[in-house]
Structure 1
Amino acid sequence: MLSARSLFQEIVDDDSAYQLFCSIAASGEAQGGWENGRIAALVPESMRALAPRIARHGADEDKHGRIFNALLAKRGLEPLPVPPETDYTMLLERHGIGLAHEKLRRDEPLTEEDIVVYLSHSRVTEQRAADQMDMLVRYFGDHPEVGRAIRMISRDEDNHLAYCHEELLGLAAAGHGRTIHRVLRDSALAEIKVYRDVSLAVTAHMGRLLHWSPPKSAALAAGVRGVYAYERFGGWHRMIGLAMPERRGALDGPPVPAPAV
């Protein structure tokens, strides 16, 4: 029987598949760390109060990248180059999600609208991250090799999502509501396409590494397309709603150190 639990167990049990999985995750987290670090450095003067939280977000993402690399090192594995078709963050940028790297490399202050767009994009992508980590915690939170790391990353992703909700609600009250609504909608519809394409690419790579039969690979690809159909029909709405989180100030203070893995 195909299930998320059994599929991830296959990946964890196979060094080559595990190496690719951790390499993709580490690369994406490191990229997110760089992006948030640059945004924190370029926040406009009128929004400088946000800079420490954006920097904390970036520090968390950097930490997650180090955690995945540490999981590789624990098995004596090296990070692999990430196949371009599986590079979620790069493909998001190509679809206009996130601030352009060309802009972030300049030493010019961002605008208030840039920060509104950044937070709106983050609200969408952090929903995906939080959902995925919730699933992994449910199935592998007690796993002796990866459980501790998964639990920490999941807590961080929940904090990132809470921070996006809180900051966007404040910006909406300050008059940015129309921009936020537009960017959230456009970002969600683009993200679900990128997630589908990346999921299909990762499934194909894992199928080759794990020697899946053609029927199994076809069934998993059909499942990915089914998720996309559900999200395109209406599931994407979960990625754009805003509600004040129970935990306020989720990114205030220094980041929590990475656990030993």
Structure 2
Amino acid sequence: MLSAKSVFQEILDNDESFRLFCSIAASGEAQGGWENGRIAALVPEGERALVPKIVRHGADEDKHGRIFNALLRNRGLEPAPVPPRTDYTMLLERRGIGLAHDKLRRDEPLSVQDLIVYLAHSRVTEQRAAEQMALLRRHFGDHPQVGKAFRMISDDEANHLAYTHEELLRFAASGYGRLIQRTLRACALAEIRVHRDVSLAVMAHMGRILGWSKARRAALAAGIRAAYVYERAAGWRRMVSLRTPDRRDPLGGPATTAPEFA
């Protein structure tokens, strides 16, 4: 039967497809770590209370990258080159979503509006990450090779998502509500397009590695496109709503370590 669990089981069982999966994931997490590090260094004076949380966010992303690389090493595999069409973070930046890397490379303080762009971008992308890791955790949380890693990353992504809700609500209470909603909507609509394109590219690469039939490739591509149609019509709204999270001050402490994966 064609299901998310059966597809990922195939990817997990094959060294080359697992290598590509972990390499794509590690690259994206490392990029997120760099971005958060630069944002933390550029936070304006009036918002310095945010710095430890942004640093924690970046440390978590760096940790996730190390975990995916450790999963590769545990199988005796080297990281694979990341095909450009599967580079989620790069494609989002090209669409103007989030803070431009050129801005982050300059040593100029960010504005409050810049912080809202950063948080809105994180709110949308962490929604996707939290959902995907929750799915992997549900199906493979007890797996002897990847279960512990998936559980740890899933917990972190849930914390990241809660943090973005909390901080955006704080800014909304300060009078930035309309800017936040406009920015969230633009981010969400761009993200679902990028997610569709990246998903199609990843599945095409996996199909070639795993020798999927044309019929199976077509069925998976149709499923990805159908999910996009739903998200374009209504599903994007889950990415722009804001509510007080159950996890309060989720990034208020130091990042947890993962020595068993180092």
- Per the normalisation by structure 2, the TM-score is 0.99
CA distance in 2, matches of 1:135, 1:181: 27
Q: Deviation at 1:49?
A: 0.5
Q: Deviation at 1:259?
A: 4.9
CA distance in 1, matches of 2:105, 2:258: 28
User: Deviation string for 1:68-123 (max 9, x for gaps)?
Assistant: 00000011111111100000000000111110000001111111100011101110
What one-letter code is carried by the residue in structure 1 that aligns with 2:154?
A: S
What one-letter code is carried by the residue in structure 2 that aligns with 1:41?
A: A
Contact 1:11 1:17 in 2 (8 A): yes
Q: How is 1:108-257 mapped onto 2 (pairs within 5 angstroms)?
A: 108-257=108-257
Aligned to 1:60: 60
Aligned to 2:89: 89
What one-letter code is carried by the residue in structure 2 that aligns with 1:239?
A: M
CA distance in 2, matches of 1:199, 1:39: 28
- Gap runs ≥5 in structure 2: none
Aligned to 1:47: 47
**1:257 aligns to what SS in structure 2?**
coil
Structure 1's 5 and 100: CA in aligned 2 closer, same or farther, altered over 3 A?
same
CA distance in 2, matches of 1:109, 1:81: 34
Q: Deviation at 1:186?
A: 0.5
CA distance in 1, matches of 2:82, 2:179: 34
CA distance in 2, matches of 1:241, 1:259: 36
CA distance in 1, matches of 2:260, 2:9: 22
State the percentage of identical aligned residues.
72
Structure 1's 118 and 4: CA in aligned 2 closer, same or farther, altered over 3 A?
same
Contact 1:149 1:259 in 2 (8 A): no
Aligned to 2:73: 73
User: Deviation string for 1:117-153 (max 9, x for gaps)?
Assistant: 1101110000000000010011000000000000000
Q: How many residues align?
A: 261
User: Deviation string for 1:7-61 (max 9, x for gaps)?
Assistant: 1100010000000000000000000000000000000001111011001000000
**2:255 aligns to what SS in structure 1?**
coil
What one-letter code is carried by the residue in structure 1 that aligns with 2:165?
A: H
Q: Deviation at 1:258?
A: 1.3
Aligned to 1:105: 105
Contact 1:148 1:259 in 2 (8 A): no
